[in-house]
Structure 1
């Protein structure tokens, strides 16, 4: 069985969120589609709604990992500290650890995230860090020994 678990995030303005993730996390493979007139009618949008500013489906990749997204059509989304996304690599893979650290530093250097735990070596010997982006999503950077 071939299965995937893909994060799906909801934003008030996905168009802006995609630009944020591109700027702060270096997001790639960005895709966004607006609702069609037929979809707008099915969802009972007002006739004066600017469909091109809305996002029915979108996705992007951060560090090669796919994330899907869309606008919240049921009202303003609630920011939650319950959503965390974790990158995990083998601590013995120095290239992967270096790439992870570069992604962490890129986000932190943007000054558009809040550092919760600095990415560094911990007493366990592992390297670990946490940041929270402006949408309330926690990003965990975890380099662990897979011995």
Structure 2
């Protein structure tokens, strides 16, 4: 069975969120699609809504992992401390660890995330760190030995 589990995030302003992830995380392969007039009618949007600034569907990549997103059409989204996304790499893969460390450092250096755990070697020998972005999403960085 070939299946994927892809994070799907909801924002009040996905257009701005995509810019944030591009700037702070170095997100790539960014795509954003506005709702069509037909979709707006089906969803009973007000006639004065600016469809060009709304996002019906979007996605981007961080560390070559795909993340999908869209605007919340059911009201203002609620920030939840229950949402965490984890990057896990093999500690023996120095290139993957370096990529992870560079992403962590880039985001922290932007001063637009709140560090919860500094990314460093722990007593287990693994490297681990985490921070929370401005949307309340916790990002976990985990470099472990695959035994």
TM bucket (normalised to shorter chain) is over 0.9
For residues 65 and 96 of structure 2, what CA distance do their matches in structure 1 show?
A: 14
Aligned ranges 1:55-70 → 2 under 5 Å: 55-70=55-70
1:1-147 equivalences under 5 Å are 1-147=1-147
Q: How far off is 1:92 after superposition? A: 1.1
Q: For 1:140 and 1:61, locate their aligned partners in 2 and report how far apart those are by CA, in whole Å.
A: 16
Cα deviations across residues 48-70 of structure 1 (Å, max 9, x unaligned)? 10000100000000010000000
Instruction: In structure 1, list runs of 5 or more residues that go unmatched.
Output: none
String of CA shifts for 1:27-77, please: whole Å, max 9, x gaps: 000000000000000000000100001000000000100000000000000
Deviation string, structure 1 residues 74-101 (Cα, Å, up to 9, x no partner)? 0000000100000001111111111110
When the two chains are superposed, the root-mean-square deviation of aligned CA atoms in Å is 0.5
| Structure 2: distance between partners of 1:97 and 1:53 | 37
Number of paired residues? 147
TM-score by length of 1: 0.99
> Deviation above 2 Å: which 4+ runs of structure 1?
none
